[in-house]
Chains A and B, each alone.
Chain A
Amino acid sequence: MELLAFGKTGWGDELFYATLMTLAVSITAMLIGFFFALIFTPLKLSKHKSLNLIGNFYTTVIRGVPELLVIYLFFFGGSGAIMFVASIFGYYEYIEINAFITGSFAIGIISGAYSTEVFRGAIQSIDKGQFEASKVLGIKKHIQFYKIILPQMLRLAIPNLSNVWQITLKDTSLISVTGLVEIMRQSYIAAGSTRDPLFFYSFAAVLYLLLTYLSMKLINKLEIKYSRGF
């Protein structure tokens, strides 16, 4: 137990901050994912073949390629790509991007592909009459989306989004390969310096279990809130 003490002698505080980091990366990645889903869901639902193709390309490629490979692409290719863009604007210095940003961006793109599929499914399962009725009533397109489609869609999407959240939360463990100090990386450091990998990795597993358990409880409450009247 003294291994987990807070302060200089134990790893308690380090692991606590690492847990917060995991949460921060997961939430950022989830939000970036929503942003991507916001762009790609309309593309997937669009009637134009070419737009459709772009949407399908995104979800198929990201969901068919290992997460680790995507992370390596961003980790090794990220600063190169940004430097290339910067060189167009006449900036030739070396640019290093923060591991937090690269990591949450890589995970965000992955999570976005799953969110896109969830949103697409949810919108497609809304009764067509809802779209038609709101059109007939002369409701503007964006109000139709915010007031009629979105609330119904959320009810259908939340159970599946909670799966996406779980996947995202677990995927953040992979960012440890880039050196960002989240639960996995911190356990790796602690295991290395105390030579007690079994304890620290098991503790990391417990932390992840705790995170998934607590977030499930929270999401269940949301689910109840959004399915009022059903």
Chain B
Amino acid sequence: MIGSFPKLLSATVITLKLLSLSLFFGLFIGLFFAILRMNKNLIINKFAYGYSYVFRGTPLLVQIFIIYFGLGQIEYLRSTFLWVILKEPYWCAIIAFALNTGAYTSEILRSAFQTIKPGLIEAGKSLGIPNKVIFYKIQIPIAIKQSLPAYGNEIILMLKGTSLASTVTLMDLTGVAKYIISTTFKPIEVFIVAGGIYLFMTFCVHNLIKFLEKKYGFQT
């Protein structure tokens, strides 16, 4: 049990890398689609809705498999530079995670944008602030504050989601845990150690969000 601890800890680094990269890309994807959702053009709006509907309505496992196993089948893709990325399970997992968390993030941000009181935007307009500045300086900061609790949940869901990287041969925390279980046949001990590491990470995320909420949250 103690012998497996260093192995699991080094695997945690991969889990954290997967998590941070997919959250980073996911945030941009989410913001992009949240903005599209607020577009008045019906086709753009429906497109953004369809994106989030499909990615939220299907299991993450299917998404990873489509990207990792499925996309390699398209001959055309194999000849482009994209293949350099798509042949690596690491980047396939990150693409799948980023698209998945992007869908959830876009919903979180959209509802955050919608709760902004129209008065704030109107006040900005009447002060003669350009639309762009209103968006970057008023709407985005408020939306980020509003969406902090929900986004915290999303980070924890994504942390658990990274465990699926082990299904495409990546040796993340769950992958290594499974390997150790299947070689030592000590499922309970390994579960306690690996589960403990995951719980510790969730605990950290939870407290970080709580701290951020306290620091930047609204006193309404």
Contacts and interface: CB of A to CB of B under 8 A. Distances in A.
B166 A68 contact: yes
A196 B161 CA distance: 26
B163 A191 contact: no
Contacts of B161: 66
- Interface size band for A: 35 or more
Q: In terms of DSSP, what is the predominant structure of the interface of chain B?
A: helix
Contact of B187 (A60, A76, A187, A198): A76
Interface in B5-60: 53-54, 57-60
Contacts of B160: 64-67
A76 B61 contact: no
Interface stretch (B102-110, B126-134, B188-196, B211-219): B188-196
Contacts of B123: none
Contacts of B58: 170, 205, 208-209, 212
B60 A201 contact: no
Nearest to A212: B57
B143 interface: no
B174 A198 contact: no
A133 interface: no
Q: In terms of DSSP, what is the predominant structure of the interface of chain A?
A: helix
A12 interface: no
Interface stretch (B70-78, B79-87, B112-120): B70-78
Contacts of B62: 173, 184, 201, 204-205, 208
10 contacts: A61-B199, A65-B160, A65-B195, A66-B161, A67-B163, A68-B167, A173-B62, A198-B71, A205-B62, A208-B58
Interface of A: 60-61, 63-69, 72-73, 76-77, 80, 166, 170-171, 173-174, 176-177, 184, 187-188, 191, 195-199, 201-202, 204-205, 208-209, 212-213
Interface of B: 53-54, 57-63, 65-66, 69-74, 156, 159-164, 166-167, 174, 177-178, 181-182, 185, 187-188, 191, 194-195, 198-199, 202-203
Query: Which 10 A-B pairs give the minimum distances between C-beta atoms?
Result: A66-B163, A77-B187, A198-B70, A173-B59, A197-B69, A64-B202, A76-B187, A170-B59, A66-B160, A212-B57
